[in-house]
């Protein structure tokens, strides 16, 4: 009897050797540890002595959460824990698992299809790893899933149609991969979705109309794909939408004005969207905007004054467009701004004094414009980075109060004295300023109007803008009708037809039209220029030249003469 009891006791001890967690589940964890190079994890299970004989739940293995009686593993959270290798297929033995978070690691290989067996999963996040291959269709079995994040991997292929079964999904992110094909219309069945993030892939085709069913969306990211067609107006019906990224696709047509209905919107990205004309006026309605990105378009005209009404703005990107005119002083009302990019436009004039109120501004870029004058208005702002390259600033005294840690980029300006910024440790461009003849041509002020020549639209101040002025540095000349290098005010024959301006005016001809010299006003067969040159009356057919023969080098030629 004692022997039988000992045998039973030994059997029980064998069954319980893994502690409270079943052997299958513990072995699955051990396989995870082995396949992802657990010895190199940041937080290692093996740091505990005799760890393989301990219990994942009762002994508190890092990242493991169990149920109340420590009999099943419910959650694995290995965020930024230096997991490498691959994900072992035995993961499906963790049958009670409801959360698997392996984000910000280096796991490669394919996503095991066995994950589709974990029917209790409600959160699966594998973002920022190195997974490759297709999404296993078995993930469509996870009907309890409310969060699926596979973003920032190297996944390829298409979105499985089986995803239509994920009816409880609220968050879907597949961005920053290499997915191709069209966005499946079946995603329109996921009516509980509040975030749909598909940006930075290679999706083609149009935005499927079925997505209009996703009325609970708060975030929609479709940017940086190859989507075509028009941006559908029904997006303006998503009243809960807070963020939308549509830029860098191949959409045609205009951005629908219905987007102006999205008054809860805080983020609007329409960069690389082939926008032309003025900034769409409906953006003024988006009074809660914190982020507005319109960079890399073909927008023209002035920066609108109504931007001052978007007082929640923190980030404003208007760079790489064709805005002209001046920087509006009213931007100074946007006191929450921390990033303002106006670079690579055609802005002119000075930095307005109103910008001195932008005390929260950290990044300010006005490079590649035609700006000049004083930098005083922004000299006291605690910038982290200030870029004003390729303009025509000469005096930087206003920057003497800059923080020493400011990153300053100022190449290709007209600066000759850098003393005011001698305390700034990170300056780029001091040795690449206009000098010599280039400084004279671009930085000198020929007409003493306070505007450097390179930025002055009328360098000689004669009232004719440079592009229409044949002599932009000569206030006495602006026209050269016959392109002979002599201005009309000096040239005695403006149109170069061989008839002086005085004679043309006396005979009713246009001194700026060379064609009327070749014309024949009296119809006698002789041009006006010929008759005027030999003295006959160009207004009377009865007074016309006659021909006389002469011999030149043995050849008889006829020349006209006044009879």
Residue 388's pLDDT is: 97
Q: Structurally, how many domains does the chain consist of? A: 1
pLDDT-derived band at 556, boundaries 50, 70, 90? low
Helix (H, G, I), strand (E, B) or coil at 292: strand
Q: Has residue 71 been placed in a domain?
A: yes
| Mean of pLDDT values over 250-265 | 94
Whether the pLDDT of residue 549 is over 80: the answer is no
Tokens (6 digits) for 363: 């990044």
Report CA dihedral (153, 158, 160, 163) to the nearest 10 degrees. Answer: 60
Binned at pLDDT 50, 70 and 90, residue 562 comes out as low
DSSP-based three-state secondary structure for 108: strand
- Give domain status of residue 40, yes or no: yes
Residue-wise pLDDT for 63-76, tens only, equals: 999 999 999 999 99
- Structural domain contains residue 269: no
Confidence band for 83, pLDDT divided at 50, 70 and 90: very high
Tell me how many helices (H) and strands (E) the chain has.
Answer: 6, 29
Chain centre distance of CA 526: 66
pLDDT tens, residue by residue, 53-62: 999 999 999 9
Residue 455 in any domain: the answer is no
Give the DSSP H or E segment for 322: strand 322-323
pLDDT of residue 522: 78
Q: How far is the C-alpha of 270 from the C-alpha of 29, rounded, in Å?
A: 45
15 sits in which H/E element: helix 2-15
**Of 248-262, 311-325, 345-359, 509-523, the least confident:** 509-523
Exposure letters 228-250 (e unless 16+ CB within 10 A, then b): eeebbeebbebeebbbbbbbbbe
| Mean pLDDT within 19-26 | 88
Query: Is residue 114 domain-resident?
Result: yes
Structure tokens at 177: 């991969």
Alpha helical stretches, state H, 317-460: 436-443
Question: Looking at residue 42, what is its pLDDT?
Answer: 97
Which residues sit opposite 182 in a β-bridge? 204
Decide if 80 is inside a domain. yes
Q: Could you give the CA distance from residue 531 to residue 210 in angstroms, rounded to a whole number?
A: 81
Q: What DSSP designation does 468 have?
A: G
d(CA 355, CA 359): 9
Let me know: does 76 contact 39? Beta carbons within 8 Å: no
Q: 245, 270 in Cβ contact below 8 A?
A: no
Q: What is the pLDDT of residues 432-478, one digit of tens each?
A: 999 999 998 899 988 888 899 888 888 888 888 878 978 887 888 88
Classified as helix, coil or strand, 349 is strand
| Lookup: tokens for 34 | 């082995």
Query: Residue 63 has what DSSP assignment?
Result: T
pLDDT at site 542: 77
Find the range with the poorest average confidence among 210-214, 228-232, 425-429, 463-467: 463-467
Mean pLDDT of 189-205: 97
Average pLDDT, the chain: 91
Domain that holds residue 105: 20-155
Half-sphere exposure of 459 (CA within 13 A, CB side): 22
pLDDT, one tens digit per residue, over 96-123 is 999 999 999 999 999 999 999 999 999 9
28: domain CATH number is 3.80.10.10
What is the C-alpha separation between 64 and 45, in angstroms, rounded? 10
Residue 407 lies in a domain: no
pTM beyond 0.85: no
- What percentage of the chain reaches a pLDDT higher than 70? 94
Q: What is the pLDDT of residue 561?
A: 58
pLDDT winner (highest mean) among 315-319, 463-467, 489-493: 315-319
pLDDT for position 413: 96
Q: In this structure, are residues 399 and 375 in contact, taking their beta carbons and an 8 Å threshold? A: yes
Nearest to 111 by CA among 99, 120, 102: 102
Question: Is 38 within the bounds of a domain?
Answer: yes
pLDDT at 211: 97
Residue-level length of the chain: 563
The whole-number pLDDT of residue 15 equals 40
Eight-state DSSP code of residue 284: G
């Amino acid at each position: 009897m004692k022997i039988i009891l000992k045998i039973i006791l030994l059997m029980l001890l064998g069954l319980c050797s893994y502690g409270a967690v079943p052997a299958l589940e513990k072995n699955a964890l051990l396989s995870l540890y082995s396949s992802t190079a657990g010895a190199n994890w940041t937080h290692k299970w093996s740091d505990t002595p005799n760890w393989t004989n301990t219990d994942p739940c009762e002994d508190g293995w890092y990242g493991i959460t169990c149920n109340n009686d420590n009999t099943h593993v419910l959650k694995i959270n290995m965020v930024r824990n230096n997991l490498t290798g691959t994900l072992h297929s035995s993961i499906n033995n963790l049958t009670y698992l409801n959360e698997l978070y392996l984000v910000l690691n280096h796991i490669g290989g394919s996503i095991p299809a066995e994950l589709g067996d974990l029917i209790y999963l409600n959160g699966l996040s594998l973002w920022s790893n190195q997974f490759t291959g297709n999404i296993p269709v078995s993930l469509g079995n996870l009907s309890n899933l409310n969060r699926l994040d596979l973003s920032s991997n190297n996944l390829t292929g298409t979105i499985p149609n089986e995803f239509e079964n994920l009816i409880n999904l609220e968050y879907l992110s597949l961005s920053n991969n290499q997915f191709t094909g069209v966005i499946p219309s079946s995603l329109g069945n996921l009516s509980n979705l509040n975030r749909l993030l598909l940006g930075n892939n290679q999706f083609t085709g149009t935005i499927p109309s079925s997505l209009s069913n996703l009325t609970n969306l708060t975030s929609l990211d479709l940017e940086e794909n190859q989507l075509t067609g028009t941006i559908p107006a029904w997006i303006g019906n998503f009243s809960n939408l807070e963020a939308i990224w549509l830029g860098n696709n191949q959409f045609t047509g205009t951005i629908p004005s219905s987007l102006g209905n999205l008054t809860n919107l805080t983020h609007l990205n329409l960069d690389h969207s082939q926008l032309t004309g003025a900034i769409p006026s409906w953006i003024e309605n988006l009074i809660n905007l914190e982020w507005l990105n319109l960079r890399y378009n073909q927008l023209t005209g002035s920066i609108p004054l109504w931007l001052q009404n978007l007082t929640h703005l923190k980030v404003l990107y208007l760079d790489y467009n064709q805005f002209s005119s001046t920087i509006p002083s009213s931007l100074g009302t946007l006191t929450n701004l921390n990033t303002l990019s106006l670079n690579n436009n055609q802005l002119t004039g000075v930095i307005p004094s109103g910008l001195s109120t932008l005390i929260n501004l950290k990044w300010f870029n006005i490079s590649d414009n035609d700006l000049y004058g004083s930098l005083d208005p922004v000299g006291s702002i605690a910038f982290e980075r200030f870029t004003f390259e390729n303009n025509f600033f000469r005096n930087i005294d206003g920057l003497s109060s800059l923080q020493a840690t400011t990153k300053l980029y100022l190449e290709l300006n007209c600066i000759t004295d850098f003393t005011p910024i001698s305390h700034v440790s990170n300056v780029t461009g001091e040795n690449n300023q206009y000098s010599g003849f280039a400084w004279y041509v671009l930085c000198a002020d020929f007409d003493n109007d306070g505007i450097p020549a390179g930025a002055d639209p009328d360098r000689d101040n004669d009232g004719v803008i440079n592009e229409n002025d044949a002599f932009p540095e000569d206030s006495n000349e602006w026209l050269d009708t016959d392109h002979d290098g002599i201005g009309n005010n000096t040239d005695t024959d403006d149109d170069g037809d061989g008839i002086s301006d005085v004679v043309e005016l006396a005979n009713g001809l246009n001194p700026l039209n060379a064609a009327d010299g070749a014309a024949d006003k009296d119809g006698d067969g002789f041009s006006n220029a010929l008759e005027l040159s030999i003295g006959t009356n160009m207004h009377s057919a009865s007074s016309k030249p006659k021909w006389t023969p002469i011999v030149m080098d043995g050849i008889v030629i006829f020349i006209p003469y006044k009879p």
